[in-house]
A and B are shown apart, each in its own frame.
Chain A
Amino acid sequence: MEALVIEENIKTPSISFDPGKGVLEIKGKSIPENSLEFYKPVFDWIEQYGLSPSNETEIRIRLEYFNTSSSKCLLDIFRKLETIHIAGKSKVHVNWYYEEEDEDMMEAGDDYQTLVKIPFVLVKV
């Protein structure tokens, strides 16, 4: 399957999903008014990926900000990957990056950790 690459925009993050390496990176800001519209191709890609995923899958979240509408989409992304993880198709883990002083971003990573059954690593940068 092909990689998914979306360039960063004013309100949307860059998306770089490499199915061969099993590395899915979301980076930048995510503050679109209609986040479903933006994330729909991402959801579709992950569903396709789930059919024959890499043995290990690493999700890198390197977000500066995200709005509440995106927070729901992030949860949906984690849920889709959780399904793949629980089915034993791929060992999935999330690397959640946050800036040293950014307690809100660290807490957000911690919140997701309590909601989904995939391992999270909170990485200070």
Chain B
Amino acid sequence: MLHSQIHTSGSGLYDLFQTMERDRIILSFKGDITQDLLGSVYQIMESHMESGKEEPQRKKKFYHILVECLQNVYHHMAALRENPPVQDGASTAIFMIAQGADNSYRIITGNFILNGKVAGLQERIERINAMTPEALKKYYLETLNTTELSEKGGAGLGIIDMARKSGHKLEYAFHRVSDTYSFFTLAIVVS
């Protein structure tokens, strides 16, 4: 998705515009993921959905998954801050909300995680992707019932819930960027 080199001079911004137009990106953001920012994004997307002719249930489902996706990034960023110092750039993240095929939506997030956490996360996503809807429900309830909420608010439920609500496999990638960090990309389809 992200392939153009963006310069603010010449045609750089126009290229970015065209990329966003072609990929039907509704909203994109790169920077620090704060609680205030997320509040604004929810409001923007809520009014965006209000203005369209979406069925209320689809709207709810989209909104629900969006909240989990963005809070997942938020919790990842909070976890990184527990291991200071956070190297340049790694304290920011990116997300995009795009209109997909057949009126579906795609939510794509990208954030840094410690290399040591890659294997565990990958295993977890693979495990979730291999589950039937029934198994996902069971796993969700087990996790809900047995896991304590961390002080920062994560309970490991978000990623199960995204898969459960979306009904699609989680698309993901890890890109090792340094001895410390990998860039984690996660994409969810809401149809």
B63 interfacial contact with A, CB 8 Å: yes
Which residues of B143-191 have CB atoms within 8 Å of chain A's CB atoms? Answer: 144-145, 147, 149, 151-155, 157-158, 160-161, 165
Q: Which residues of A contact B64 (CB under 8 A)?
A: 65, 67, 104
Chief secondary structure at chain B's binding surface:
helix
Q: Which residues of A contact B68 (CB under 8 A)?
A: 67-68
Interface residue count for A (Cβ, 8 Å)? 26
In the complex with contacts A33-B38, A104-B165, A67-B149 CB distance below 8 A = no
Q: Which residues of A contact B141 (CB under 8 A)?
A: 111, 114-115
B35 interfacial contact with A, CB 8 Å: yes
Q: Is the CB of B157 within 8 A of A72?
A: yes
Which residues of B92-150 have CB atoms within 8 Å of chain A's CB atoms? Answer: 137, 141, 144-145, 147, 149
B9 interfacial contact with A, CB 8 Å: no
B57 interfacial contact with A, CB 8 Å: yes
Q: Is the CB of B71 within 8 A of A67?
A: yes
Interface string of A60-76 (1 = CB under 8 A from B): 00001101110111010
B56 interfacial contact with A, CB 8 Å: yes
Q: Is the CB of B157 within 8 A of A68?
A: yes
A11 interfacial contact with B, CB 8 Å: yes
A35 interfacial contact with B, CB 8 Å: yes
Q: Is the CB of A11 within 8 A of B154?
A: no
Looking at the assembled complex, report how far the CB atom of A115 sits from the nearest CB atom of chain B, in whole angstroms: 6
A101 interfacial contact with B, CB 8 Å: yes
Q: Is the CB of B149 within 8 A of A33?
A: no
B16 interfacial contact with A, CB 8 Å: no
18 contacting pairs across A/B (C-beta < 8 A) = A11-B42, A32-B153, A33-B38, A33-B74, A33-B75, A33-B153, A34-B153, A35-B153, A36-B151, A36-B153, A65-B67, A67-B64, A69-B157, A71-B144, A72-B149, A111-B137, A115-B141, A115-B145
Residues of B within 8 A of A (CB): 35, 38-39, 42-43, 56-57, 60-61, 63-64, 67-68, 71, 74-75, 137, 141, 144-145, 147, 149, 151-155, 157-158, 160-161, 165
Residues of A within 8 A of B (CB): 10-11, 31-37, 64-65, 67-69, 71-73, 75, 99, 101-104, 111, 114-115
